[in-house]
């Protein structure tokens, strides 16, 4: 029996994140938290966290720098993540999440951090050294994507798409570029898709164009609690499925839980996209109904 492919997640904009828990808080006053916690954020880290829960072999790739980066590496190591950090010359991005009884969860993010040329080249070299037929997930924003020192990484991704499985849940300049590559799966939200086609046409009409102006094989386009549009191949129709209705506690990371579950079901279990979505969407909803990322209590059994 052949070994299942290994999954690599690439986080281009790592986050050293603290959460303050308040009974209540008001703007313009000194606030004292009841408790504090630290976690590592970034879409690829969240995807790896969910893959860990599903028992899928994976390695989280990220760029780290300074004291914040060292704290991130320590956190990942202590929690048993398999990861590879590429050292960059700036302190990793920091953020603060504030939770309280009288306000919705509020997140404050520090400035984006552009990885250095050496870090980008090290990442590209690492990808080129991996075996064929593995899975690489590009996750979230990638600051500095258009800069020339990203040329080695873009070239490595083009080579990967020819010898392995390349999937993406990203936005902005990386999304524009990746949709010109033969992605096995593009999982984005409706607002991000509209940046690809500013014509004002419906998403269904845009995805139904023949020939398509974009190269991804499969599409999943979410819209918060609204219907999810999907297409399972260039010759397939655009279909919709409704996610479960829940009482939202924190939407943070729910799209990443969805992405991880889709990767697991489609590429590790060889399920068609509709079946993968019917299993993955309830877990994304469960994530939104609980605080934290990929920490909801019960996984849904996957039936082969």
H or E element at residue 105: strand 103-109
Residues 33-47 have pLDDT tens digits of 889 999 999 999 999
Q: How far is CA 15 from CA 94, 120, 153, in A?
A: 5, 17, 21
Residues 202-247 have pLDDT tens digits of 999 999 988 899 999 999 999 988 899 999 999 899 999 999 888 8
Distance of CA 241 to the CA centre of its chain: 21
Q: How confident is the model at residue 121 (pLDDT cuts 50, 70, 90)?
A: very high
CA proximity to 7, closest of 50, 39, 40, 42: 50
| Count of CB atoms situated within 10 Å of the CB of 207 | 22
Domain ranges within the chain, ordered by starting residue: 7-26+33-288
CATH number of 7-26+33-288: 3.40.1190.20
Q: How far is CA 89 from CA 60, 119, 226, 248, in A?
A: 20, 8, 41, 38
* 8 Å CB contact between 190 and 221: yes
Q: What pLDDT is attached to residue 254? A: 92
Question: What share of the chain has pLDDT > 90, as a percent?
Answer: 77
Helical segments of 61-100, H only:
66-78
Residue with token string 């990767």: 263
Q: What pLDDT is attached to residue 1? A: 55
Q: What pLDDT is attached to residue 49? A: 97
CA distance 137 to 152: 17
């Amino acid at each position: 029996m052949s070994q299942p492919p290994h999954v690599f997640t690439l986080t281009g904009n790592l986050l050293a994140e603290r959460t303050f828990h308040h009974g209540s808080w008001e703007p313009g006053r000194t606030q004292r938290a009841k408790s504090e916690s630290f976690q590592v954020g970034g879409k690829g880290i969240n995807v790896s966290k969910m893959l860990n829960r599903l028992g899928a072999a994976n390695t989280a790739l990220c760029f780290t720098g300074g004291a914040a980066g060292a704290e991130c590496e320590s956190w990942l190591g202590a929690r048993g993540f398999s990861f590879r950090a590429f050292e960059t010359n700036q302190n990793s991005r920091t953020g603060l999440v504030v939770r309280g009884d009288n306000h919705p969860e509020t997140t404050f993010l520090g400035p984006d951090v552009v990885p250095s040329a050496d870090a980008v080249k090290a990442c590209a070299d690492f990808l080129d050294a991996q075996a064929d037929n593995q899975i690489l997930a590009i996750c979230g924003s990638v600051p500095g994507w258009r800069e020339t020192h990203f040329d080695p990484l873009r070239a490595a991704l083009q080579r990967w798409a020819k010898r392995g499985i390349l999937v993406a849940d990203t936005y902005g300049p990386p999304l524009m570029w990746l949709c010109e590559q033969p992605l096995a799966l593009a999982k984005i939200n409706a607002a991000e898709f509209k940046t690809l086609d500013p014509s004002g046409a419906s998403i269904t009409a845009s995805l139904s164009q023949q020939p398509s102006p974009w190269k991804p094989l499969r599409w999943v386009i979410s819209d918060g609690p609204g219907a999810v549009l999907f297409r399972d191949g260039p010759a397939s129709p655009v279909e919709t499925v409704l996610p479960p209705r829940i009482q939202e506690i924190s939407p943070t990371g729910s799209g990443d839980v969805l992405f991880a579950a889709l990767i697991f079901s489609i590429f590790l279990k060889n399920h068609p996209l509709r079946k993968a979505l019917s299993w993955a969407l309830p877990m994304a909803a469960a994530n939104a109904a609980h605080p934290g990322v990929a920490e909801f209590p019960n996984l849904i059994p996957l039936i082969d």
